[in-house]
């Protein structure tokens, strides 16, 4: 998901803020899970190579950042 498209949050449905909050929370949990896989070394059970794991970790990090940016935009629009 990228922010390269202009998103008008005010034109979204009323449940849009909760959707952003929920997906942001999920992305942070996912990122936390990748951190635990890294610390414990269990990533080896799920990924064939370290490069594959690092790529998935970077994607999870980018996703979490995207949801943070959306949440920040939402917060600015509602204040």
pLDDT in tens, the chain (79 residues): 444 444 555 555 567 788 999 999 999 999 999 999 999 999 999 999 999 999 999 999 999 999 999 999 988 887 6
Whole-model pTM: value is: 0.75
Q: Which among 2, 17, 16 is positioned nearest to 65, based on CA atoms?
A: 2
pLDDT of residue 4: 45
Contact 54, 35 (CB under 8 A): no
pLDDT of residue 57: 97
């Amino acid at each position: 998901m990228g922010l390269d498209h202009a998103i008008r949050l005010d034109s979204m449905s009323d449940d849009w803020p909760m959707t952003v909050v929920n997906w942001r929370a999920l992305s942070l949990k996912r990122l936390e899970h990748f951190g635990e896989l890294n610390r414990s070394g269990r990533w080896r059970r799920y990924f064939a190579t370290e490069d594959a794991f690092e790529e998935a970790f970077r994607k999870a990090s980018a996703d979490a950042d995207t949801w943070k940016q959306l949440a920040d935009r939402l917060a600015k629009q509602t204040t």
